[in-house]
Chains A and B, each alone.
Chain A
Amino acid sequence: MHNLGFALDGAWRVLVAGLALGAGLPILFALGIRSLAWADAGGAAPRPAGRALGYGLFAVVVLGVLLGITFIVATGFGKALSFDHIYPTIVPKH
């Protein structure tokens, strides 16, 4: 049952990455929405900090999406994304 071992090994990595990006980014997005709502909730005195925080969070989400698109495009060209240097770099596929 070597395949089961490989599959479970792959599965938990996918789960971790999936939780970080697939749940993490939408959660940041929701926090961004919450900040915008909080910015407006000041009534006569709107809170610019909430607005700034909100758009900052949206920017992080957009970066995450751009990373996803980069990955799809790189795969199509036979390249892969490497996270060896923390920040992603495009490398030839092994």
Chain B
Amino acid sequence: MTIAFVTQASVVLALVVVTALAFDFTNGFHDTANAMATTIATKALRPKTAVALSGLLNLVGAFLSVQVALTVTNAVVKIQNSNGTPKAALAADGGNALLLIILAGLVGGIIWNLATWLLGLPSSSSHALFGGLIGATIAGLGWAGVNWNGDGSKLDGVVGKVLLPAVLSPVIAGVVALVGTWIIHRITAGLAARYTDQGFKWGQIGSASLVSLAHGTNDAQKTMGVITLALIASGDWTDTKNIPFWVKVACALAIALGTYLGGWRIIRTLGKGLVDIRPAQGMAAQSGAAAVILASSHLGFALSTTHVATGSVLGSGLGQPGAQVRWRVAGRMITAWLITLPAAAVVGAVMWAIGHLIGGLAGAGVVFAVLVAFAVAVWRRSRRTPVSHENVNDDWDGPADPTPEPEPAPRVPAAAAVS
């Protein structure tokens, strides 16, 4: 009896770990675009080189996460104590209650990530993860299990850590990129392309690399924290100050491999769909994104890399005189942002209900099987309209006429026109 119980808990734990690594992997390919879409679109780097560089920097970044916070879920749900250990009620019975919430939440996050990838929409992986966890927690513990608004002492809860930053961060990044793009345009207007394009390509590669590195340190940590929480719940790990080394290695490899695989559909939307980007804009967008990401993590202002990267690409389109922003694409994207959290929450809640009704190992197994079936279906569907490193830079509006786009006419500044 005891032996059967132990094995059953271990299998559920194994499912949670595998699912968490799968989430980390989707996190990687979903977010390649944030760092590299503009670099690929301006041909500063060849597509394969760009994803390889980004993957490598994500790997390095993930290994730099020496101090990993185990309290990653505390921002949105109440399944952990403030020291990172799971709530006692959930950790009883081999941690099964907690493991099911985590599993259902992760599955909710992955399913939403896959769906938005299929549509080529850059939605936030952190929102998908938090949404899934919130849904599974509501289903498992009720509304009170969610940390909606924090305790009033600092920016916290779903509102403070997720919703408000999601509204503010793309605007901030957009303003920074807009200002940068516009002033750079004024400074370098009229210079020969051999100075500008070559120089800005290097600037782009540098700033995109910073974003990749920051992404590796930030995002891989979340999965490391979640896996360690599951290990503590099941009694396989007790140290709340450190995480097992194999967890770090596995998470670093999963996010790096995902990044290297490259979410080409999303790279295409962000690099070609939103704005047709030039090297100077790419550098301004990427530097703006890097600065906003680093400044906010310095100031403890949680945000999503995706929202920042998208906001800065939009800003660089608005700041470049003559550039065209495709607002239809932007609208689709913003809609996806709005529904990411609730949609992932619904999936997470349904998954929890399925797992709970069936119960035990069989329940967790069915949830996992649903995930695998959905992933296979999405992959098969994606084969109908494949996007790869070969066609990622094709013209957005279909095969247009082969003549190159005319240079935007230099805008005469109002003051100069008067004088």
Interaction A to B: yes
| A contact residues vs B (CB 8 Å cutoff) | 2-4, 6-8, 10-11, 13-15, 17-23, 25-27, 29-34, 36-37, 61, 65, 68-69, 71-73, 75-78, 80-81, 93
B66's partner among A14, A32, A76 (CB-CB below 8 A) is A76
- How many residues of B sit at the interface, in one of the four size bands? 35 or more
Q: Which residues of chain A come closer than 8 Å to B175, judged between CB atoms?
A: 15, 18-19
- The one of A7, A30, A68, A80 in contact with B188, judged by C-beta atoms closer than 8 angstroms, is A30
Contact call A22/B291, Cβ cutoff below 8 A: yes
Write out the residue numbers on chain B whose beta carbons fall within 8 Å of the beta carbon of A78: 66-67
Interface residues in B62-94 by Cβ distance below 8 A to A read 64-67
Interface bits B48-65 vs A (CB < 8 Å: 1, else 0): 000000000000010011
| Contacts A/B (CB < 8 Å), 24 sampled | A3-B149, A10-B155, A11-B172, A13-B295, A13-B299, A14-B292, A14-B301, A18-B175, A22-B176, A23-B183, A23-B284, A27-B183, A27-B184, A32-B199, A33-B195, A65-B206, A68-B294, A71-B298, A72-B213, A75-B298, A76-B65, A76-B66, A78-B66, A81-B298
- The residue in chain B whose Cβ has the minimal distance to the Cβ of A10 is B301
The distance in angstroms between the C-alpha atoms of A21 and B206, with both chains bound, is 14
**Per a CB cutoff under 8 Å, which of B152, B165, B169 touches A2?**
B152
Contacts of B284 in A (CB 8 A): 23, 26
Stretch in B3-11, B116-124, B156-164, B382-390 with 4+ CB within 8 Å of A: B156-164
Interface SS of B by simple majority = helix
Q: How far is the CB of B194 from chain A (nearest CB, A)?
A: 9
A32 to chain B, nearest CB (A): 8
Residues of B contacting A14 in the complex (Cβ-Cβ under 8 angstroms):
169, 172, 292, 295-296, 299, 301
Which of B160, B187, B210, B287 contacts A3 (CB under 8 A)? B160
Given A15-B176, A71-B294, residue A30 in contact with residue B187 (CB < 8 A): yes
Cα A80 to Cα B294 with chains together (Å): 12
Given known A-B contacts A14-B296, A72-B61, A72-B213, A22 and B168 have beta carbons under 8 A apart: no
- Cα separation A33 to B183 with both chains bound (whole Å): 13
B154 contacts the other chain (CB 8 A) = yes
B63 CB, min distance to chain A CBs, angstroms: 8
B: residues with CB less than 8 A from A are: 61, 64-67, 149-150, 152, 154-157, 159-160, 164-165, 168-169, 172-173, 175-177, 179-180, 183-184, 187-188, 191-192, 195-196, 199-200, 203, 206-207, 210, 213-214, 217, 280, 283-284, 287-292, 294-301
| Residues of chain B lying within 8 A (CB to CB) of residue A77 | 64, 66-67
Q: Check A26–B289 contact: CB distance below 8 A.
A: no
Task: Give bound CA distance, A4 to B173, whole Å.
Answer: 19
What separation, in Å, do the CA atoms of A5 and B127 have in the docked complex? 22
B203's nearest neighbour on chain A, judged by CB, is: A29
Which residues of chain A have C-beta atoms less than 8 A from B217's C-beta? 72, 75-76
Please report the C-alpha to C-alpha distance between residue A32 and residue B191 in the assembled complex, in whole angstroms. Answer: 12
Which chain A residue lies CB-closest to B157?
Answer: A3
Instruction: Check if A69 sits within 8 Å of B67, measured CB to CB.
Output: no
CB-based contact A76/B187 at 8 Å: no
Q: Top 10 nearest A-B pairs by Cβ distance? A: A22-B291, A78-B67, A76-B64, A17-B295, A23-B180, A7-B164, A3-B160, A10-B301, A22-B288, A6-B155
Contacting pair B164 A22 (CB below 8 A): no
**Distance A13 CA – B169 CA, assembled complex (angstroms):** 12
CB distance from B92 to the nearest CB of A (A): 32
A36-B199, A78-B66 known; 6 new pairs, CB 8 Å cut-off, are A3-B159, A20-B291, A23-B288, A26-B288, A27-B183, A33-B200
Which residues on B sit within 8 Å (CB–CB) of A19? 175-176, 179
- Roughly how many angstroms separate A17 CA and B292 CA in the complex, as a whole number? 7
